Amino acid sequence: MDDHAKQIDSQVAESILKSIRIPPCPEVVVALMEELRQPDVDFVKLVKLISGDVGLAATMLKMANSPFFALRNKVSSIQQAVSVLGLKNLTQIVRGSALQKALGGDKVAMERFWERSNLTAVVASHMAAQLDDIAREDAYTLGLFHDCGIPILMQQFPDYKEKLAAANQSAELVITIEDKCYSTNHAVVGHMLARNWCLPGHISQAVRVHHDHSIFTQPDEHSTPEVCALVAITIVAEHVAAAFLGRPDDAEWIISGQLAQDHLGISPEDMKDISEDALDELEEIRAYR
């Protein structure tokens, strides 16, 4: 990690915690995640917990009945949905649904944010399935959570949305502009949320360093091979999602795109295949929504 990033972190971490509200992990999510970590999961308890949250229950039914699972007969109960989804998918949906609910924010801006985050998560999961030693659920979770600090800063600072729009047109990385304007950035804030929500340590660390490109050339003891691979996958996945949405390459991809591809051993031909393979799935997701 570069010296500037370390300086920012040590100087303002305490004031960030005091001045920026990090949404607490909802109680139902805490209870669900605790049960999902048990050696023998109590499915009756899971169904009761999910059924007690209308928004979460609706999300489960919608996902189970989505084209992804291609069920001949649609499910109509939470018990059926849990059976169809399986524990790994259930964990991802619980976290993602809770995150969207907790962060809220400007409806139009957040719809665009979540669309890109969700598409990035899908592509990241798809890529992880083709690589060794990277769990699909970890890639999906990082794809969904890597920019979760953005909505928090958007709610904290009235001019943040305008600054972010300008940053997206700039040759500078967005976190560089954030540091200049607010003495913190969305990677730091997102890392705090990830830790508060008890995400696995390697995922919360990946959130913290997903804009720190030195991890590919000079990783420290915290930026393990697993963390570096997850960050690289997310960078590539975000690029594919942005291209699908018709958005131009940003400074992140221009600066780190080749580093990420090299780290993963992805050739130009591989990039073309990844993009083409993801296209049908992303089109299906967009059509279903």
Contact by Cβ (8 Å): 122, 285: yes
CB within 8 A of 7, min separation 6: which ones? none
pLDDT value of position 32: 87
The one-letter amino acid code at 10 reads S
For domain 3-22+105-288, give its CATH number from 2.40.30.10, 3.40.640.10, 1.10.3210.10, 2.30.30.90.
Answer: 1.10.3210.10
- The 10 Å Cβ neighbour count of residue 67 is 11
- Where the chain has pLDDT below 70, the residues are 1-18, 105-109, 284-289
pLDDT value of position 198: 84
Contact by Cβ (8 Å): 243, 118: no
pLDDT value of position 133: 79
DSSP string, 166-186: HHHTSSS-HHHHHHHHHSS-H
Indicate if the alpha-carbon torsion angle 272, 275, 281, 282 is positive or negative.
negative
pLDDT value of position 226: 95
pLDDT tens-place string over residues 271-286 = 888 888 887 778 766 6
pLDDT value of position 100: 85
pLDDT value of position 5: 45
Torsion of CA 149, 152, 153, 157, to 10 degrees: 180
